[in-house]
Chain A
């Protein structure tokens, strides 16, 4: 059982609001990831981190930002939400060395009205 958590699970918010999606894991994993998934579509990597103070943008352009101040915590922030940000956001982590499985959180379903 993977110990990776995301809050909130569901969020409905108005255009222009600032939001932060929380992701935390208790496995001591160095590598953490944020993916965006629209219904019926594949996952797209939007941000990743290989350790504290390390963050990189993924393959899919995103207006969100991330931070990695602590190993266990990898929050994603949208400064000004727009309807185009409506999607499911999935956080994942894996051990930093060797071949390791990627574990996912339950996801945050975001709706911007």
Chain B
């Protein structure tokens, strides 16, 4: 059974720091991995989607990498800002019982201090 773990559960950093969020999954048979951010009481906003054949994706100050064989992905945030404060979730798409589903981690709660 696929399990997704995100470490650390919470992180507090001063503004301007570069930081790395980690996501690990137990089964390397994934189709893609997607990073989201979630603001308190809101839905999820898609940040980056990495296909299983890709190693990384970049969007602005965000860079996500994927190492399928080791079951790991990282989300790198450059020059963090207070507006980056949110919970960051990773999710892997797997095939189970003939259907494709996303399995989510519990997230990393990030606070960027001004």
Contact = CB atoms under 8 A, between A and B. Distances in A.
Contacts of A101: 34, 46, 49
Given A2-B46, A90-B43, A107-B41, A102 B102 contact: yes
A48 B91 CA distance: 16
A106 B51 contact: no
B contact patch SS: strand
Interface residues of B, number: 22
A contact patch SS: loop
Interface residues of A, number: 25
Given A101-B49, A103-B46, A42 B102 contact: no
B99 interface: yes
Interface of A: 2, 6, 33, 40-43, 45, 48, 56, 58-59, 88, 90, 92, 99-107, 109
Contacts of B106: 40-42
B105 interface: yes
B58 interface: no
Given A99-B31, A99-B32, A43 B104 contact: yes
A40 B109 CA distance: 9
16 contacts: A42-B4, A42-B89, A42-B104, A42-B107, A43-B89, A43-B104, A45-B101, A45-B102, A48-B99, A99-B31, A99-B49, A100-B49, A102-B34, A102-B102, A104-B43, A105-B43
Given A41-B106, A102-B34, A59 B46 contact: no
A104 B81 CA distance: 24
A111 to B, nearest CB: 13
B42 interface: yes
A99 B51 contact: yes
